[in-house]
Amino acid sequence: MRQIILDTETTGLEPRLGHRIIEVAGVEMKNRRLTGRHLHHYINPEREIDAGAMAVHGITNEFLEDKPKFAQIAREFMEFIAGAELVIHNAPFDIGFLDMEFSRLDLPPMREICASVRDTLKMARELHPGKRNNLDTLCERYQISNAHRTLHGALLDAELLADVYLAMTRGQESLVMDLSPPSLKTHADNNTRKNDKTRPPLLVRRANDEEAALHQQVLEHIQKESNGQCLWLGRDQVSGIRNP
């Protein structure tokens, strides 16, 4: 299966208010293995970046002045994700921005380009309800080093998310039980061990009179509380006990 681990950075939080994508990145994975192939572009959004967004990703208006517009990278991006399953953290956010960019160019929406979308934020909330599930927290939870992540960046975040996704979906291989029938050799080995005369005899420690009396009291108590249903009393013992 071909998957693209995807992330974007934007000028703000709401595409319907005219906010645009300023960075997009995706790393390719096939059959749960990173292929080394990726796509990464900074994009001139043709508008100012909100101060709040700039504080998150550190990308400035001046840095983006000479970068391509989304229209110039749209076809390359579409070809890169075509037919793949997208893996995105908080997918509705990124998909909303990408759909808005495509609509500006009269291009089809994301659902018609990629095979499907998997939201790792939704997955994390189902796996860890009531806990923080942002990317930094998930990296810490799954012991993935993100020490080099001081600001958000689409390519770095996509690479970290790939590791997080693999950790979240790895399963429990170490706990798989072997349910195959034992071989004849196994039975023979077991019988050999059972008949091994070199083993020391099993030490049996019998209850003394005081311990036996206490045990009998417990059984009689169970017999009364269960209305005569105690399974550990013999018939001769039961006959001597009067139930209430």
Over residues 60-97, the pLDDT tens digits come to: 999 999 999 999 999 999 999 999 999 999 999 999 99
pLDDT at residue 172 tops 70: no
Q: Is 152 a catalytic residue?
A: yes
Min mean pLDDT across 29-33, 154-158, 187-191 is at 187-191
Q: Are 43 and 65 in contact, with CB atoms under 8 Å apart?
A: no
Q: Say how far apart CA 172 and CA 89 lie, in whole Å.
A: 23
Task: Grade residue 47 by pLDDT with cuts at 50, 70 and 90.
Answer: very high
Q: Say how far apart CA 77 and CA 108 lie, in whole Å.
A: 13
Average pLDDT estimate for 158-181? 71
Residue percentage of the chain with pLDDT more than 90: 63
Higher pLDDT among residues 219 and 189, named by residue: 219
Q: Say how far apart CA 239 and CA 223 lie, in whole Å.
A: 11
Query: What tokens appear for 51 in the block?
Result: 């101060």
Q: Are 110 and 102 in contact, with CB atoms under 8 Å apart?
A: yes
Angle at 63 between CA 60 and CA 68, to 5 degrees: 120
Task: Grade residue 184 by pLDDT with cuts at 50, 70 and 90.
Answer: very low
pLDDT at residue 235 tops 60: no
Task: Grade residue 175 by pLDDT with cuts at 50, 70 and 90.
Answer: very low
pLDDT at residue 44 tops 70: yes
* Residue 203 DSSP symbol: P
Q: Which of 38, 152, 187, 215 is catalytic?
A: 152
Query: What tokens appear for 206 in the block?
Result: 């019998």
Which 3 state secondary structure label does DSSP give 76? helix
Angle at 139 between CA 34 and CA 111, to 5 degrees: 55
Min mean pLDDT across 42-51, 121-130, 146-155 is at 146-155
Q: Say how far apart CA 39 and CA 104 lie, in whole Å.
A: 21
Which one, of 167, 125, 172, 177, lies nearest residue 146 by Cα? Answer: 167
Name residues whose C-beta falls within 8 Å of residue 92's C-beta, 6 or more positions apart in sequence. 119
Q: Are strands 33-42 and 21-30 parallel, antiparallel or unpaired?
A: antiparallel
The pLDDT score that the predictor gives to residue 202 is 66
Residue percentage of the chain with pLDDT more than 70: 80
The pLDDT score that the predictor gives to residue 195 is 54
pLDDT at residue 182 tops 90: no
Q: Are 40 and 7 in contact, with CB atoms under 8 Å apart?
A: no
CB count in 10 Å sphere of residue 117: 16
The pLDDT score that the predictor gives to residue 153 is 85
Kind plus residue range of the DSSP H or E element containing 241:
none
